[in-house]
Amino acid sequence: MATVIGFVSSGLFAAAQASDSQIYQSVQRQEKVALLALSIQGLSREEADGSILGIPAPAGDRTTIIQYAFTAQVGIDGSHATIEAAGDGEGSYVVSIPEFIFIGYDDPHFEDAVESNGPLSFLTEEVEETQMINNILSDENQQKYIDDHTEILRDQAQTYYTGIIQGIHPDATLTFEFAS
């Protein structure tokens, strides 16, 4: 008489499946002109202090550090740039450049957060990594990238439009006006 002992483990024969569905609601043509690609790297540090019934607990602190890197694209909305003939003669043009804008970012890379927690850190609310990343990519930081590079952006806009116009009319004289 033979006895057969068997078992089935759900982990042995299970097949994993994943799916992703996307729907494009609309496709819009854009006339964004990226004038600069800024390589951004940094460390973001967030600290939270612990307390017990409103009394600070020195050993209840939490510190979270995220290392990040990405390439920021800044430039203009080309649909708002204008080129008009100047009133002082043929071959003279006034090029009006709109406000500089943050276009987007490429190759974002965020390292896993490094945490340093005090022995009583369970009393302290956890630091949200997602919120830290949102702060890194905030509108305020985007505007700072533009403000820190305004002169280079102006120079690049002049070079860009000079190349286009003088490619068609080599003797053109250009005057540039920039939005504030």
Q: What is the pLDDT of residues 44-103, one digit of tens each?
A: 988 777 666 666 667 667 778 889 999 999 999 999 999 998 887 788 999 999 999 999
Look up the pTM and report it. 0.71
State residue 71 phi and psi, 5-degree precision. -110, 120
Alpha-carbon distance 59 to 48, whole Å?
Answer: 11
| Residue 164: Cβ within 10 Å count | 10
Hey, CA dihedral for 136, 141, 145, 148, is it positive or negative? negative
| Residue 95: Cβ within 10 Å count | 21
Alpha-carbon distance 77 to 31, whole Å?
Answer: 6
Of the pLDDT bands very low, low, confident and very high (cuts 50, 70, 90), residue 24 is confident
Among the residue ranges 14-18, 29-33, 34-38, the one predicted with the least confidence is 14-18
Give pLDDT, residue 61. Answer: 73
Give pLDDT, residue 16. Answer: 62
The more confidently predicted of residues 155 and 29 is: 155
What are the tens digits of pLDDT across the range 95-151?
999 999 999 999 999 987 776 666 555 556 666 788 888 999 999 999 999 999 999
The pLDDT of residue 171 is above 80: yes
Alpha-carbon distance 88 to 120, whole Å?
Answer: 75
Alpha-carbon distance 180 to 168, whole Å?
Answer: 29
Of the pLDDT bands very low, low, confident and very high (cuts 50, 70, 90), residue 7 is low
How far is C-alpha 161 from the chain's CA centre?
26
State the average pLDDT over residues 160-170: 93
3-state secondary structure of 161: helix
The token duo for 144 is 């700072």
